[in-house]
Amino acid sequence: VQAQESVQVGLVLPMTGPFASTGRQVEAGARLYMQQHGDEVGGRKIELIVKDDGGVADQTKRIAQELVVREGADVLAGFGLTPLAMATAPIATQARVPMIVMAAATSSITEKSPFIVRSSFTLPQAALGIARWAAENGITEAATLVSDYAPGHDAADAFRKVFEEAGGTVIEQAAVPLKDPDFAPYLQRIRDAGPQGLFVFVPSGVGSLLMKQFDERGLDDAGIKLIATGDVTDDDILDQMGDVALGAITAQHYSAAHDSPENKEFVDAFKEANGNSRPNFMAVGGYDGMHLVYEALKATDGETGEALVEAMKGLSWESPRGPVSIDPETRDIVQDIYIREVKEQDGELYNVEFDRIEQVKDPVKADW
Ligand code: DHB
């Protein structure tokens, strides 16, 4: 066991494999926070221990167990995909160690352990925003296409509920395997069904392939409007998508183009520290997750365990994404959900925010 002074934060992320961009972004966000705020808080030194789980749930769980048992980790953090967070929740409960979910976004994750606090978002938060926009902007018939795992189902269910309550109809639903996806046959079926809009969720990093196949299958030419959660037009890959992405309307909690002094400083510092690459919503999850750890340690004077979780409840601050707080009831993040359009700005593609729904709680836990 380490000397009492240092607080060990075990950051478990997919640093290799198909979701390595998530790991890279979350780690870079967490490191930037530490670079800007120093490595001492509440009288204790903060140490970040980064571990690669390769995006495999059994690995995440095993690594988390080792971190708390052998390395005496005081905080578990990261969690790039829902199954990785789900697998680790019992470890947090058993070890009574706070677990900061910085990326995974299925609504029910926070219900799996009272030690979980989330700095990312929930898919229903984002899907609600785009479903309302679609219903209010002339789309009456829509199709949905999502990755076939928990956040995809959360997204499709939330979109359908809100869209249909607003008078729309979902005429076709597709769920595509998460692993090595080929969207083409599903897109063909949707093109044939002829909706006015196609709602999509795929996890961070996968949006480029979706966009390419959307173009190749002629959905753009058929006049089917792409509407999505912001995961699809992820800032990490958006600029390489090309013209097919132009005009896509998405809803989410973070855009690198968010117009605030806090975000401008964040984006500039992130680019400076990361070879000019842009932060995406995963980076903000890592950055704000570290903010939670720092602010809670200040409040507890360096005490960890259950007291640290208690100190996170109700915290509110100005994030690069905008104003946020931790819902003390659910330990989820309450945040503005922005409606954005992909546009060219300063010669690059960005999600340009044009509307927002203020202070959205996870709708699944807030009775919609
Ligand atoms: C999840 C993963 C993502 O990459 C994303 O953009 C949203 C959700 C998840 O597995 O929970």
Instruction: Please state, rounded to an integer, the average pLDDT across all residues of the chain.
Output: 97
Q: Which ligand 1 atom is nearest residue 229's CA?
A: 6
- Going from the Cα of 3 to the center of ligand 1, the distance in angstroms, rounded, reads 36
| Residue 104 beta carbon below 6 angstroms from any ligand 1 atom | yes
Cβ atoms within 10 Å of 345's Cβ, excluding its own: 12
Q: How is the chain split into domains, by residue range?
A: 6-121+259-331, 123-252+337-365
Q: What is the pLDDT of residue 368?
A: 81
Q: Is the CB of 285 under 6 A from ligand 1?
A: no
Q: Which CATH superfamily is domain 123-252+337-365 in?
A: Response regulator (3.40.50.2300)
Q: Which of 231, 253, 284 to mutate to test the pocket of ligand 1 (most atoms within 8 A of CB)?
A: 231
Residue 253 β-bridge partners: none
Q: Is it the case that residue 3 has pLDDT exceeding 70?
A: no
Which residue among 12, 56, 60, 82 is best mutated to probe the pocket of ligand 1, counting the most ligand atoms within 8 A of its Cβ?
82
**CA of residue 231 to ligand 1 center, whole Å:** 8
> Which residue minimizes the CA distance to atom 11 of ligand 1?
104
Q: Which residue stretches of the chain are H helix?
A: 20-37, 57-69, 82-95, 123-136, 150-165, 184-193, 207-216, 261-273, 281-300, 306-312
pLDDT of residue 4: 57
ipTM above 0.95, yes or no: yes
* Average pLDDT for 284-308: 98
8 A C-beta contact, residue 147 and residue 342 = no
Helix (H) or strand (E) holding 120: none
- CA 87–ligand 1 middle distance (angstroms): 15
Q: Tell me the per-residue pLDDT of 263-277, one tens digit each, with 9 for 90 and over.
A: 999 999 999 999 999
Name the CATH code of domain 6-121+259-331 (choices 3.40.50.720, 3.30.230.10, 2.160.10.10, 3.40.50.2300).
3.40.50.2300
Span 105-132, pLDDT tens digits: 999 999 999 999 999 999 999 999 999 9
Distance from Cα 208 to the centre of ligand 1, integer Å = 15
Atom of ligand 1 at shortest distance to CA of 104?
A: 11
The pLDDT tens digits for 24-51 are 999 999 999 999 999 999 899 999 999 9
Are 6-121+259-331 and 123-252+337-365 in the same CATH fold?
Answer: yes
231 lines ligand 1 (CB under 6 A): yes
With a cut of 50, say whether residue 290 has pLDDT above it: yes
